[in-house]
Amino acid sequence: MSQYANYALDSDSYDTTRIPIGVDTILASLDRTPIPLSQQVLLEAGCGTGNYLHALYPHVGSLAGIDFSEGMLTQARRKLGEQVGLSCGSILDMAFEGESFDGITCNQVIHHLEEGPSAADDPAAWKPCHFRNVTQFIQEAYRVLRPGGAFVINATSHEQFRDGYWWADLIPVAVARLSCRMPDLDQLKQILTTAGFDIEAVSPDLDGILQGPSYLDPQGPLSEAWRAGDSTWSLTSDAELDDARQRVTRMNAEGTMQAYLDEREKKRLAIGQTTFFCGRK
């Protein structure tokens, strides 16, 4: 299993650079389940610091979260208190009975499940991934979901990795490394279908910005705390990071940064940063 992002270290600062996006999309999918939303038992797989659980809490009957990082779960417990059942464990092999949940959501997790090229590796030479861990997780989600329930997963397509984040253009090789770990949209659809899900919706989120208000900081890539807001930065080599920092410093000094951000924003607005899938059991 991949460990390229160190969530034990990043958990303290995670919430300063991440917000939950697409909560309405998740709720709309859950609301199409015959059981009233206010009575549904919902699981978030890979719940991190609990930002989605916190946003979903007022709308559903009860909530559970699972994550394998104790650091992230400590933050989630601080935010949610005793009102949400949080467990530490891998989403590839969950200690829940079959058909335990009316709905399951999983947000920005599946690019962490596979091995892939590290900052030292050439992504073009990397062997194709068969996404065995993603497949295993999706089969687990199917197992623990009740018939008729919704599985709502948000994941970033390869095109969104490249053009849904302005700074991705500064570190294209790291973006290519990350893409090796992630099924693209058609592959993900295939994995969901093979596991037994009917695909009810595939919708890019064109408005949401995962990094929240700090996203368009023109000096952002110069700050380690800002870069910690997205694990792609941990896949840059020292030379690639130096190059990105020099470009940012130069564009800010020359006064060309705003025009660059405007061009990059046009692309993000056309494709969004992430895509929501709703699979129905």
Ligand X SMILES: C[S@@+](CC[C@H](N)C(=O)[O-])C[C@H]1O[C@@H](n2cnc3c(N)ncnc32)[C@H](O)[C@@H]1O
Query: Residues interacting with ligand X, by CB under 6 A?
Result: 1, 7, 18, 46-48, 51-52, 67-69, 72, 90-92, 107-109, 112-113
- Phi/psi at 199 (nearest 5 deg)? -85, 115
Q: Which is nearer to ligand X, 63 or 91 (by Cβ)?
A: 91
Q: Which is nearer to ligand X, 92 or 185 (by Cβ)?
A: 92
CA distances from 26 to 2, 137, 144, 179 (A): 26, 19, 18, 24
Q: Which is nearer to ligand X, 93 or 224 (by Cβ)?
A: 93
What is the distance between the alpha carbons of residues 162 and 258, in angstroms, rounded to a whole number?
A: 19
Which DSSP letter does residue 222 get? Answer: G
Name the minimum Å distance from CB 251 to ligand X: 28
Q: Which is nearer to ligand X, 144 or 248 (by Cβ)?
A: 144
Beta strands in 52-173 (DSSP E): 62-67, 85-88, 101-107, 145-155
What is the distance between the alpha carbons of residues 7 and 252, in angstroms, rounded to a whole number?
A: 31
What is the distance between the alpha carbons of residues 10 and 181, in angstroms, rounded to a whole number?
A: 20
Name the minimum Å distance from CB 148 to ligand X: 24
Name the minimum Å distance from CB 2 to ligand X: 7
Name the minimum Å distance from CB 108 to ligand X: 4
Q: Which is nearer to ligand X, 26 or 248 (by Cβ)?
A: 26
Amino acid at site 175: V
Name the minimum Å distance from CB 235 to ligand X: 14
Q: Which is nearer to ligand X, 48 or 279 (by Cβ)?
A: 48
CB 104 within 8 A of CB 127: no
Name the minimum Å distance from CB 221 to ligand X: 19
Amino acid at site 250: R
Take residue 122 and report the two structure tokens written for it: 């050439």
Take residue 172 and report the two structure tokens written for it: 């294209």
Q: Which is nearer to ligand X, 91 or 171 (by Cβ)?
A: 91
Helix (H, G, I), strand (E, B) or coil at 27: helix
The residue nearest ligand X at its CB is 48
Name the minimum Å distance from CB 252 to ligand X: 28
- Torsion, CA 10, CA 50, CA 82, CA 25, rounded to 10: 180
Name the minimum Å distance from CB 188 to ligand X: 16
What is the distance between the alpha carbons of residues 245 and 131, in angstroms, rounded to a whole number?
A: 33
- Classify 157 in phi/psi space as left (phi over 0), alpha (psi -120 to 50) or beta: beta
